Amino acid sequence: MNMFCYQCEQTAKGTGCTVQGVCGKDPETAALQDLLVHAVKGIGWYADLSSRNAARDQAVDLFVTRALFATITNVDFDPARIEELIREAAAIKSRARELAQKAGASIPAKIPEAARWEPAGTREGLLEQALKVGPMAGPKTNEDIRSLEHLLLFGMKGVSAYADHAHILGKDSPEIYGFLHKALAALAEGELGADALLTLNMECGKINIATMELLSEGHRQRFGIPEPSPVFLGMRKGPAIIVSGHDLLDLKELLEQTEGTGVNVYTHGEMLPAHGYPGLRKHTHLVGNFGTAWQNQQQEFAAAPAAILMTTNCIQRPANSYKDRIFTTGLVAWPGVAHIPDRKAGAPKDFSPLVKKAKELGGFAEKPGKTITVGFGHEAVLGVAEKVIAAVKSGAIRRFFLIGGCDGAKPGRNYYTRFAELVPRDCVILTLACGKYRFNTLDAGAIGGIPRLLDVGQCNDAYSAIRIAQALAGAFGCGVNDLPLSFILSWYEQKAVAILLSLLYLGIKNMRLGPSLPSFVTPGILTVLADKFGIKPIGAPEQDLKDSLKLKV
């Protein structure tokens, strides 16, 4: 069986993975994920009819986000679990159809194939069905149209991930689910032209901002407002659990269950910003951060005598040296890896197997390490806005650079390290997501008491960065594009696509994107984006910096 997948930045040869995913996804899993996406399009088609008649079903809404999230890069590598979702999708589609009928929706005579689809009875049958619905399957279509459809689909996957995170914290929005259904219906029908698809992509960016705002509210209400906080990068003696991913509620429940047990907890990857939240930092056995970004986990985890918890996307193929001590939870899965079940009846997850394993392993010896600072959310930065504005007006701060996004293993990402090193001492760096590991231990210093390196948080905290930019623009009485602010972005997976669409929706111009441009964006669509928004690929860091500093404000 062959495959085709080009949704991530590291896709093979810059065109698409056709034999095995660079991420570790095998052809069977890829095919089943394609079929799941097809099934979700059919669900969305019926759910959109219901939404137009003011009828909603939470089970339908939540399944759509969970299913799309499960197909994001580095989430679910287990074909058995994907098959379960496919079979559940058939029942959910029936539920969505019945809801539309009860709501009095007029069912068109022409029903798209995705809405008529029913799953085959066997795994082999599902795989045969998948061959007909993959990214490049079906009649040959205009490449630019396909590009815009895939840009929209991948952006929707990112929105779904953030919507799932928000739902777990008790935050939901009919507007978000309604958009997902509408967009899925459009993809199921496949009849929109380029202008309509571009408009729908911009709406996806708008909805993603609302989704990130909802998630931000959920985080702050549950864990407190982030505050600048030191994070220890060494080791404390004793049993240890390393927590990776993005799910702060998983971390909170684990901290509560390890209180007083003698087990130390370390964040990893995108969990680093957790140290800025008062409700998490108050647990004194949350002792520090272990390792760096997701792509280094195979080497770093192999040397760590600790239990490991993967809460969301970012898992790689576990090496045999630690496969018996890594656990997944939520939508994350890898065949043969122990899984912590979901919450039931409002009760927290049971992390006792993880705690038991940590104690068996013994943990780390004492090791000194440096300290870095996180927690510069929009509240912290805007709390000193007058000082920032005064520094800009006086010339003490010449420019802001937002250098952030996903990290990855593909060559070329040292660009971001070099760029950060080159940024003049009279400029401030904002950063977020795991791309910051390329430079977040630099001794950046301060300007008039304002740190030159401000860690805004996780990838979803792009919302905080947006709030900061909008507030500064308001203070100066100008547009965001008139600020002394440059966006130097790195991307890897589909949440980054959603964030990019959000920035485009806001009209942000002259962004630089790398280390390579999305392979699903055709030259024709790239020309449109370049003409409309000035988006361009990264080049040599020295020249890109020089060009950014020349931009008029």
Is the domain covering 12-222 a CATH 2.60.40.1180 domain? no
Same fold across 229-361 and 392-550: yes
CATH architecture of the domain formed by 229-361:
3-Layer(aba) Sandwich (3.40)
Q: What is the mean pLDDT of the chain?
A: 96
The answer to whether the beta carbons of residues 99 and 46 sit under 8 Å apart is yes
- Cβ neighbours of residue 496 under 8 Å, at least 6 residues apart? 158, 405, 406, 433, 459, 489, 490
Q: Which CATH architecture has domain 392-550?
A: 3-Layer(aba) Sandwich (3.40)
pLDDT at 552: 60
- Please report the pLDDT score of residue 550 as a whole number: 85
What pLDDT digit, counting tens, does each position of 435-445 carry? 999 999 999 99
pLDDT tens figures, 94-133:
999 999 999 999 899 999 999 999 999 999 999 999 999 9
Residue 60 and residue 93: Cα distance in Å, rounded?
Answer: 8
Mean pLDDT, range 437-454, rounded to an integer = 97
Distance in angstroms (rounded) separating the CA atoms of residues 553 and 549: 10
Q: Tell me which of 58 and 551 has the higher pLDDT.
A: 58
pLDDT at 143: 95
Instruction: Kindly report each contact of residues 298-306 with a partner whose C-beta sits within 8 Å and lies 24 or more positions away, as own/partner.
Output: 300/268, 301/242, 301/326, 304/240, 304/242, 304/364, 305/240, 305/361, 305/362, 305/363, 305/364, 306/239, 306/240, 306/241, 306/242, 306/266, 306/358, 306/361, 306/363, 306/364
Domain ranges of the chain: 12-222, 229-361, 392-550
What mean pLDDT comes out for the span 278-300? Answer: 97
Q: What is the DSSP string of 254-284?
A: HHHHHTTTT-EEEE-GGGGGGGG-HHHHT-T
Task: Match 């029913």 to its residue by tokens.
Answer: 118
Residue 410: predicted pLDDT: 85
Digit-coded pLDDT (tens) for 227-241? 999 999 999 999 999
Give one DSSP letter per residue of 309-322, joined into a string. EE-SS---PPPTTT
Proportion of the chain above pLDDT 70, given as a percent:
99
pLDDT score of 253 more than 80: yes
Quick one: pLDDT at residue 433?
A: 97
Q: Report the b/e string of 355-368 with b at 16+ CB within 10 A.
A: bebbbebebbeeee
Each residue of 244-266: b (16+ CB within 10 Å) or e?
Answer: bbbbbbbbbbbbebbeeeebbbb
pLDDT digits 0-9 by tens, 57-76: 999 999 999 999 999 999 99
- At residue 222, does pLDDT exceed 80? yes
Residue 139 has what pLDDT?
Answer: 75
Hey, is 528 helix, strand or coil? Answer: helix
